[in-house]
Structure 1
Amino acid sequence: MKLLKGFALLLASTVLLAGCSKKTDELKIYSIIHEEETQALTDLFTKKTGIPVSFLRASTGELVNRVIAEKDSPQADVLLGGATSYHIQADKAGALESYESPLAKKVPSYARSENNTWTGFCVLTLGIGVNSARFQQKFPNEKVPATWEDLVNPAFKGEIVLTNPVASSTAYLFVQDQLQRLGWENGWNYLLALSELVGQFPDSGSAPAKLVGTGEYALGVSYLHALAKYNAEGFDITLVAPPQSVGDVDCISILKNTKNLDAAKKFVDFMLSKEAQELMSSIDFTIPVNPEAKPAAGSIPVSQIDLIDYDAALASSQKEEVLKKWSSEVK
């Protein structure tokens, strides 16, 4: 029923987007990043360029599958957001256009594809969020987890929230973090042991930070920037950056066969600009990839985080197998 409702929403949104097609210069965006950030960015883009924008906000899995399904006749021009493995997946399906923005030269090599089909605009790193008051109440004799291994403590059963990796790129990145740092067998042993302790697997990548912040759970796995945002808003969240974490980038791509290529290129240029990345960081505490852009105060710099050598191509190639195994073994 939930899936059918999701498709109904997407279908209705397609009609909405199609109804605006008379404006040939209107940019249509499929957005994986939050609606607040999407609205602020597209408003600024329109103000600077005069190009109107409409967007559909949905989860990573929904939109990437939609991009691939529509590759011969895309209903949008740009895919905004989502980790590299998902853009690699769309590229392999022949759904992305190659474009090298003049600003891409400022972007680190790990944040752009060799064939210029996707480019990163902010850095994403995973961590653990702790609701200090609830943790102290529930676990007065336990130490706050400092490593991923510390999270697999039987005492924490039912008090951990982790996003569903089938629906969310956030959780799939976490799954790949464990598989790549521990190896396939040991990684799955870790994931299955942790899953037994998880109290909820929401579909939205933003849910764990919110649920920990509001005190519904003591612990949650989330992007550090999401946790930092709730912390800055006054929620009781302690940020933990475990060693051997994973770093990736939120990417932007132009959809193959778009009829609005010029406007799409301008939006890519805009997203790689200092102004756009500082605006986004001011809203959600992400770390800009443009070295000229300053991250928001309260965010944790990448230089202070111990990251594994993450293989995004491997993550993409294993995705179908990993999610199938997750769906069959995690109850």
Structure 2
Amino acid sequence: MTSRHILASIFNKLLLGGGLLLASLATTAAEKVVVMTSYPQEMISQFETAFEAQFPQYRLEVLWKQSSDALTYLNQHPGEVDVYWTPSRQNFVQLAKQGALQKLDAAWIKSPTNLHGTLLNDPQGYYATTEIAGLGMVIAPVAFDNAKLAYPEDWQDLTQPALQGQVAFPLPARIGFASGLIDAMLRGKSWSEGWTMLTRMTLNAHFIENGSTFITDEVSAGRAMVGITMDFFAASAIAKGAALQYIYPPVVAYSPAHVALLKQAPHEEAARAFAQFTLSPVGQELLFTPDIRKLPVDPAVYAQRPAGYFNPYATPARPDEKVRDVTEQNILNAYFEATLVKHQALLQSLFVNLAFARHLNRDTANINALEQQLLQPLLPEQQLFTAENTVRFQSGLADDRKALIQQWSELAKARYQSVANTLQTILTSP
């Protein structure tokens, strides 16, 4: 609640307590617009002030709901909310399917259809992207300087052995902002090359589960030299004094936030004004302010960006910019966790023993072959993304999904155990 809201609340209580009835105020009061969002107060305050300055006839009323609670609330309280504005694409997709949204005015939308393969706006026109967040790397420059290591520039750089245990890695299947991470890391690589990189990265990873800690805290506290996180999280930490630096790799996983008008919006004109405002030059340029620091979706406003501000539209296009859809990303993330993350300790032990066997000059050809077994994906790409697996991950068949994930895990365990047995024979042979 802003200070203005607090003062208004106090004044209202005084009026009621004194029994004052000022009907004239009611007739001239600004019409409210109810906006549901999960954005923090710092951002909402900026938009509230700017919106009400441009549209003094309207008053912003904010209903804060996390994405996990928003759908339930909207379904249970029809006709209460005017605008839904938040970074949760799946919720917008579901609301559009339910017929709960009304179409936006196409003239408001200045962004392209997609950004480096990431779909920005609903092709049917029911919701539009208002800002973009980028997933990249936050580093502790002093730690890299002290270790005499070059700063990472690409995802591949996180595989170097010197970073063992030093990569704070959000689990994509458990942390919403990281859902597109594995897909981005694999982009531009063959299935085999990509899985080799992910396996070596797993050896270095300090995996972070949802709610356990902030990635930026892990890096600033010295528990990791580099972390994978959203740009605005890093910007917030840096603004508060953390000695960190943010790096966008050549392939960035982008996460769009959207705005939509509810079909049963009780204050339709006010709702349209606010939705249009978020997409307008004024609303877009607000994203540059230090308290917000997000990426505008309108390419034109980057002409006004502060010095050094990242422009996603300035990065060159790549021939391999296809972004997997949500279902495929969910399959990929579950497969990554079942076959690599779950067996991290065993994998680390196997690679230590491989290095020891090499040190002893034991059967080099066989050792190299064993290493290649560990680095290759368990399944061909086409066998992972089948129609059957798509149905399992799209439907409510949780038991079928769990059984499939367990099957992947057992398959990985069998391979790793086979390598361990062969390696044990090599190490114990005379």
Give the TM bin, normalised by the shorter chain. 0.7 to 0.9
The answer to whether structure 1 residue 134 and structure 2 residue 143 are counterparts is yes
Give the equivalent residue in structure 1 for 2:418.
none
Distance across 2 between alignment mates of 1:257 and 1:195: 48
Give the equivalent residue in structure 1 for 2:331.
321
Displacement of 1:189 in angstroms is: 5.5
Per mean C-alpha deviation after superposition, the further-off stretch among 189-198 and 108-117 is 189-198
Distance across 1 between alignment mates of 2:212 and 2:279: 23
Distance across 1 between alignment mates of 2:111 and 2:182: 26
The counterpart of 1:67, out of the listed 68, 71, 93, is 71
Change (3 A) 1:154 1:119: same
Give the equivalent residue in structure 1 for 2:104.
99
Change (3 A) 1:287 1:158: same
Change (3 A) 1:215 1:30: farther
Displacement of 1:67 in angstroms is: 1.9
Q: Residue type matched to 1:119 in 2?
A: A
The answer to whether structure 1 residue 121 and structure 2 residue 130 are counterparts is yes
Displacement of 1:322 in angstroms is: 3.8
Q: Residue type matched to 1:318 in 2?
A: E
The answer to whether structure 1 residue 54 and structure 2 residue 99 are counterparts is no
Give the equivalent residue in structure 1 for 2:165.
158
Displacement of 1:112 in angstroms is: 2.3
Distance across 2 between alignment mates of 1:178 and 1:258: 40
Query: 1:277·1:290 contact (CA, 8 Å) conserved in 2?
Result: yes
Query: 2:42·2:292 contact (CA, 8 Å) conserved in 1?
Result: no
In structure 2, the residue corresponding to 1:145 is in which secondary structure?
coil
Residue by residue, what CA displacement relative to the aligned partner does 1:57-113 show, whole Å, maximum 9, x if unpaired?
A: 53x5x25xx326744744643332326566445534555432225321x22232322
Per mean C-alpha deviation after superposition, the further-off stretch among 121-130 and 79-88 is 79-88
- The structure number with the bigger radius of gyration is 2
Equivalences for residues 179-194 of structure 1 within 5 A: 179-182=186-189, 187=194, 190-191=197-198, 193-194=200-201
Displacement of 1:133 in angstroms is: 1.5
The answer to whether structure 1 residue 245 and structure 2 residue 255 are counterparts is no
The counterpart of 1:201, out of the listed 198, 205, 208, is 208
Residue by residue, what CA displacement relative to the aligned partner does 1:254-279 show, whole Å, maximum 9, x if unpaired?
A: 34544444333222101011112212
Give the equivalent residue in structure 1 for 2:42.
36
The counterpart of 1:276, out of the listed 283, 286, 309, is 283
Give the equivalent residue in structure 2 for 1:288.
296
Q: Residue type matched to 2:331 in 1?
A: E
5+ residue gaps, structure 1: 1-22
TM-score, structure 1 as length reference: 0.74
The counterpart of 2:151, out of the listed 144, 151, 166, is 144
Residue by residue, what CA displacement relative to the aligned partner does 1:154-173 show, whole Å, maximum 9, x if unpaired?
A: 43233222334345442112
Change (3 A) 1:76 1:185: farther
In structure 1, the residue corresponding to 2:136 is in which secondary structure?
strand
The counterpart of 1:174, out of the listed 171, 181, 190, is 181
The counterpart of 1:81, out of the listed 74, 83, 86, is 86
Displacement of 1:306 in angstroms is: 4.9
Q: Residue type matched to 1:29 in 2?
A: V
Distance across 2 between alignment mates of 1:68 and 1:299: 37
Equivalences for residues 21-32 of structure 1 within 5 A: 26-32=32-38
Distance across 1 between alignment mates of 2:212 and 2:325: 18
Distance across 2 between alignment mates of 1:30 and 1:206: 26
In structure 1, the residue corresponding to 2:151 is in which secondary structure?
coil
Query: 1:152·1:194 contact (CA, 8 Å) conserved in 2?
Result: yes
Q: Number of residues paired by the alignment?
A: 301
Distance across 1 between alignment mates of 2:293 and 2:212: 15
CA RMSD in angstroms comes to 3.6
In structure 1, the residue corresponding to 2:122 is in which secondary structure?
coil
Distance across 2 between alignment mates of 1:68 and 1:311: 32
Distance across 1 between alignment mates of 2:45 and 2:281: 18
Give the equivalent residue in structure 1 for 2:243.
236
5+ residue gaps, structure 2: 1-28, 115-119, 343-430
Give the equivalent residue in structure 2 for 1:15.
none
Query: 1:126·1:221 contact (CA, 8 Å) conserved in 2?
Result: yes
Displacement of 1:196 in angstroms is: 4.6
Distance across 2 between alignment mates of 1:102 and 1:206: 42
In structure 1, the residue corresponding to 2:181 is in which secondary structure?
helix
Query: 2:35·2:60 contact (CA, 8 Å) conserved in 1?
Result: no
Displacement of 1:40 in angstroms is: 2.1
Residue by residue, what CA displacement relative to the aligned partner does 1:236-293 show, whole Å, maximum 9, x if unpaired?
A: 2223222233345332223454444433322210101111221222133223223443
Q: Residue type matched to 1:127 in 2?
A: G
Structure number with the higher helix fraction is 2
